[in-house]
Amino acid sequence: MDVQRYIDLRDDVPVASVSLGYTTVTLFPASELKAAQVGYSVSDSGEPFTGEEEGDWKESWFVIGYEDLCGDPIFVDLAKPEFPVFTAAHGEGDWSPEMIASSFQGFIEALQEVNRLSEGRDNPVKLERNPVSAVERERVLNRIAELSKNASLEFWENWIAL
């Protein structure tokens, strides 16, 4: 797996977290990535949790961050050169990943779109005072769809809800 290549890409990312309304998406710094795998691909003692059955955490999945509303992990598939980005509901027993960006680069660009939208809306009170308009929402969602043609927009739609 190409963890170092991911770290090199991550080091060039201009944002560490993006907050809009009730939700913040945080990317782990390189120094926290090993600890971030605990509970997903490995146990506290380093025992692997990965498998090849339906619903198992895959060996090539690498946690890179989380969204704080539900605590769901955000992870890349290191087996694919573009590092597609996924999320999956935490605590459901089986992992059913949802691709939220077809590449790590597309994910970062999508985060930057949300970051621009979040200016003056980075917490629930500010968002209530300055709601996202339908036009702004559609513009951002259309841009994210352009960045990741095969990805599900559900994650982004829920985050940017009117």
Give per-residue pLDDT as tens, 93-150: 789 999 999 999 999 999 999 999 999 999 999 999 999 999 999 999 999 999 998 8
Q: Sign (positive/negative) of CA torsion 31, 98, 70, 145?
A: positive
For position 14, what pLDDT does the model report?
87
Residue 58 host element (H or E):
none
pLDDT in tens, 2-24: 899 999 999 999 889 999 999 99
Q: Could you tell me the CA-to-CA distances from 23 to 71, 77, 115, 121, 146 in Å, in that order?
A: 10, 24, 12, 11, 23
For position 35, what pLDDT does the model report?
96
Which neighbouring-strand residues pair with 73? 66
Q: Write down the mean pLDDT value for the chain.
A: 93
In this predicted structure, the answer to whether residue 68 has a pLDDT above a threshold of 90 is yes
For position 1, what pLDDT does the model report?
66
For position 2, what pLDDT does the model report?
87
- Strands (E) across the chain are located at 17-20, 23-27, 61-67, 73-77, 85-87, 98-101
Percent of the chain with pLDDT over 70: 98
Give residue for tokens 């969204």: 67
